[in-house]
Structure 1
Amino acid sequence: MKRNHSILSKLALSAFILTGTFAQLPTTSHAASTDDTPVWSREDAQNFTLTDENTAPNIDSFTDVAPDYWIWDTWPLRNRDGSIAKINGYYVQFALTASKEYTWGGRHDHAEIRYFYSKNGKDWEMGTVPYDTDKALGYRQWAGSAMMEKDGTIHLFYTAAGRKDEGPTFEQRLAKTTFEMDYDNKEGFQVTNNGDHQILAEADGEYYETQEQKTGSIIYSFRDPWFFQHPETGEEYIIFEGNTGGDEKTLEEKHIGDVDEDVPAGAEDYNGNVGIAKAENEDLTEFELMPPLLEANGVNQQLERPHVVQKGDDYYLFTISHQFTFAPGLEGPDGLYGFHANSLFGDYEPMNDTGLVIANPAEDPFQAYSWAVLPHGQVISFVNEYHDENGNFQQGGSFAPTLKLKLKGDTSEIKREMGEGEIHG
């Protein structure tokens, strides 16, 4: 497999240094944690096997919907209850974009959010940046989610990465702005009534690691706000990617599980978690940080773009992970990972025993990334790095084929492939 290009590209966002020394399980004081927070343990995160049920079909070509721009993390406009929204009959998706005047690896330092629209949910046209970039928070804007009120107000949740006057640092804060969108046959899509940009939450150092508390070689996380309205209580939350807070990094027995091995030194620096904050007002401008929904101390550094899909009595917590963010001694594919519980704050257990829901094919392990599961089991992602029909390495940067996923209890199965970026309500 030709993997050198993929690894070099990933180093543009964060460095990965694998320590070669090994140590016994630490037994001293540990980072701040909640005793009853569910864990994805080292015992769980092993023996990943690619099967017909979890392996995505091969990608050897794609339609570039925005030839002048890189496109990556993508999310649809949803209604307050999580269903897919429409504006005058049009589906809308938002995505991270950057001009192709920047390199593939350098795109992260110049990310802006643009919208795309489609009448049939298949054929997409690119719109503009729907906010004033001079007023947006952060040196650049990273991924989030979008929700539309019944009155047409759109809440765009995003990650304010860095600060305008400091350049592209890795500081991350959860932010939001509002605007309205309309479509008519003469003018096309118009964005109006732009609201203020506000910070909703910052890492507290207790539940969620701050930039100053970070150890290890991979950047810390406090990003990817995903709006979620509880279907039973109506309470509203943002779910996000974090790291376990605290100044001392050690592992507890629950993070290890029943494994007959010494834990490699440095594994304690990999402390990804799935965070949650509760809305304190209807305007969604005030949020209270809560203990995380899931933690992966000693397993994985980045549980990216987490989101919850509810189906009857089943709650599915999904997240994405890179191969290189697994802790020393563990090997997992770039993939979509899922956890199942019977309530939002339930005892999440890894789906399919290990947590793996979708993986790229072994012959092209980095072909797609940033999967997001929508209410009807549609799974969107973007084309990352792949090999074409002639075996040549290519950089992607556009919508990948949507996958249809069947969820049943704590198991999942890929049923079929759909169109590139295809969504339906």
Structure 2
Amino acid sequence: MLNNKKALSAVVLAASVVISGFNGLSAKADETVTTTNWTREQASKIELNQDNTLPYTDISELEKFAPGYHVWDSWPLTDRDGNIASIKGWKVLFALSAPDDVLPGKVHDIATIRYFYSKNGKDWTLGGTLFPEGASLGSREWAGSAMMDDGKIHAFYTATGQRGEAPLTFEQRLAMATGDIVADSEGVRFENWGDHKIILEPDGEHYQTKEQAQQGEGGGYAFRDPMWFKDPKTEKEYILFEGNSGGAVGERTFKQEYAGRTNYTDENPVPAGAVHANANIGIAEVVDGNPSNLKMLPPLLEANYVNEELERPHVIVKDKKYYLFTDSHINKYAEGLQGPEGLYGFVSDTLTGGYEPLNGSGLVMANPPENPYQAYSWLVLPNLNVVGFAHFGDLGNMSIGDVGNQDPEFQFSHFGGTLAPTVKISINGSTTKIEKEFSQGWIKQ
């Protein structure tokens, strides 16, 4: 899969980093956004069937996408309209990465974005690290997106922690940098990066801060995964991201709208521990066409008392409808609910509200019960092909939380650390179906 003969070494440049000001925190929210609740009643309908269950994958037989490295969350370079970009015939794919001698549970502590290029979207060549060494903000780089415009790349990423910190922290901010794209017959590279900028941080009202998350036990904290989106109907541009509803756990009160109908809660009382689940999907509007100037808006969707982590949110427009997709884990459901490692989705006639769960429950695609952790971090492309990465395979009755207690040989032998087979889905209104599988990491046109 990976063409090592053409592999480029990473370009290492000295860089002075200036954290620029940003407008996301000071702007008032646009109240035209109507936040949708993913309810406990809807989530209680989650079930696996032939239309949403992936075929079994033998992770041990998968080819390493980048020999010498683990890779996981991936995303393609797009144009400003969200289409898969082509630069002199080259496609570009980005992925989080770490050396393959690092234990799987430690890869997020040193994650670095690397990029790959390909003519056919199937045979990829490693280009190197996206940014020069030491240029990015944070102690490590987490997932994001990348958009090209007029020969430039606007690279969005999650700046996690602080550069040079010890020990590691989990502060998360949305960041970006702009550079030049250079492509020739040999491949693609990125040069002349400008200053890296923090473009958005949680406001504490709509989106929980790290300090709020640390008040009280339980629950998660997230402000990450910036994803570029241009609305084809209005031509307005946005950044979507993963967050958590604002406020500390002790400040939260249950609302019926979080659960669904009253006759549902009469038969299914909400456990007190469900208060710790407060995931949401955020959105910020791009101001005056400047990707680093954002106006924070209320969340598109919240999962209070339902789920604590809705990762890598993104929108696909099909048949004049907006399809909002996100990923979540088995262990992120609120007390009293359960769901698989899966891709979840919602549909609306508008971008800014009125979302209904696809297939009645929200579940679009999940791993098979006999291999519940085989893949994760799915991203739906405009042509409805879905890319993801191979996670852990053949754990038997073991939960993913138990893997870190096993010896290194066990961990490495059951970890994918490579891209999963690309999957094709179909959409018909508010229903979806898995259609077929392709080869690993295939970005098809």
Contact 2:117/2:187, CA 8 A, preserved across alignment: no
Q: Helix, strand or coil: the match of 1:308?
A: strand
Name the residue aligned to 1:376: 383
Q: Deviations over 1:44-101 (max 9, x none)?
A: 1013221111011111121112121110000000011111001211111100001123
Deviation at 1:313, TM superposition (A): 1.6
Aligned to 1:17: none
RMSD over aligned Cα atoms? 1.9
What residue is the counterpart of 2:364 in the other structure?
A: 357
- State the SS of the aligned residue for 1:239: strand
- SS of the residue corresponding to residue 43 of structure 1 reads helix
- What CA distance in whole angstroms lies between the structure 1 residues aligned with 2:280 and 2:196? 26
The letter of the residue matching 2:366 is A
Instruction: Indicate yes or no: 2:254 matched with 1:251.
Output: yes
Match of 2:153 in 1: 154
**Where does residue 89 of structure 2 map in the other structure?**
89
- Count of residue correspondences: 390
- Asked if the contact 2:311/2:326 (under 8 Å) is kept, the reply is yes
State the SS of the aligned residue for 1:144. strand
SS at match of 2:161: strand
- Higher deviation after alignment, 408-417 or 119-128: 119-128
Instruction: Give the match for residue 222 of structure 1.
Output: 223
What TM-score, normalized to structure 1?
0.88
**Structure-2 residue corresponding to 1:56:** 54
Q: CA deviation at 1:306?
A: 0.3
Does the CA-based 8 Å contact 2:96-2:114 persist in structure 1? Answer: yes
2:193 maps to amino acid: N
Q: Could you tell me which residue of structure 2 aligns to residue 27 of structure 1?
A: none
Residue 41 in 1 paired to residue 39 in 2? yes
Q: Which residue of 1 aligns with 2:313?
A: 306
Q: Which residue, 346, 353, 359 being the options, matches 1:339?
A: 346
TM-score, with normalisation over the residues of structure 2? 0.85
The residue type equivalent to 1:134 in the other structure is G
Match of 1:400 among 404, 420, 429: 420
State the 1:219 CA deviation.
3.1
Q: Alignment identity in percent?
A: 49
* Cα offsets for 1:345-398 (capped at 9, x unmatched): 13001000000000000100000000000101000000000139xxx9611011
Equivalent residue number for residue 126 of structure 1: 126
2:239 aligned with 1:238: yes
2:399 matched residue in structure 1: none
Aligned partner of residue 145 in structure 2, secondary structure: strand
Please state whether the residue corresponding to 2:82 is helix, strand or coil: coil
Cα–Cα, structure 1 residues 36 and 88, in superposed 2: closer, same or farther, change >3 Å? Answer: closer
Find the residue that maps to 1:343 and give its secondary structure: coil
Tell me what 1:70 maps to.
70
Residue type of the alignment partner of 2:293: E
The Cα offsets for residues 217-251 of structure 1, whole Å up to 9 and x where unpaired, read as: 34301000000011011111000000000231222
Aligned twin of 1:415: 435
Q: Distance in 1 between matches of 2:78 and 2:217?
A: 37
1:216 shift after superposition: 3.7
Whether contact under 8 Å (1:244, 1:272) holds in the other structure is yes
Q: How does 1:136-285 map to 2 (within 5 A)?
A: 136-149=136-149, 151-167=150-166, 168-185=168-185, 187-214=186-213, 215-247=216-248, 248-258=251-261, 259=264, 260-285=267-292
Kept in 2, the 8 Å contact 1:92–1:115? The answer is: yes
| Alpha-carbon distance in structure 1 between the residues aligned to 2:389 and 2:374 | 9
Q: Which whole-Å CA distance do the structure 2 matches of 1:193 and 1:283 have between them?
A: 19
1:323-364 superposed Cα distances (whole Å, 9 cap, x missing partner): 001011111000000001001013001000000000000100
**Cα–Cα, structure 1 residues 74 and 132, in superposed 2: closer, same or farther, change >3 Å?**
same
Secondary structure in structure 1 of the residue aligned to 2:257:
helix
What is the CA deviation profile of residues 82-125 of structure 1, one whole-angstrom value per residue up to 9, with x for unaligned ones?
11001211111100001123211000000000001111111112
Deviations 1:240-270 (A, max 9, x none): 0000002312221000113222212221111
Distance 1:286 1:36, change over 3 A: closer
Q: How many Å separate the matches in 1 of 2:253 and 2:72?
A: 34
Instruction: Say yes or no: does 1:99 pair with 2:79.
Output: no
> Going by fraction, where is helix more abundant, 1 or 2?
2
1: CA distance, partners of 2:188 / 2:300 = 38
**Is residue 45–residue 360 contact of structure 2 (8 Å, CA) maintained in 1?**
no
Q: Aligned partners of 2:219 and 2:430: how far apart in 1?
A: 31
Unaligned 5+ runs, structure 2: 1-28, 396-409
What letter corresponds to residue 42 of structure 1 in structure 2? R
Gaps of 5+ in 1: 1-31
State the alpha-carbon separation in 2 of the partners of residues 101 and 367 from structure 1: 20
Name the SS for the 2:44 alignment partner.
coil
Whether the aligned pair in 2 keeps the contact of 1:180 and 1:194 (CA below 8 Å) is yes
Of 81-90 and 189-198, more deviation after overlay is shown by 189-198
Contact 2:343 2:365 (8 Å CA) reproduced: yes
Structure 1 residue 385 corresponds to structure 2 residue 399: no
Runs of 4+ residues over 4 Å off in structure 1 = none
User: SS state of the match for residue 419, structure 2?
Assistant: coil
Q: Distance in 1 between matches of 2:164 and 2:64?
A: 34
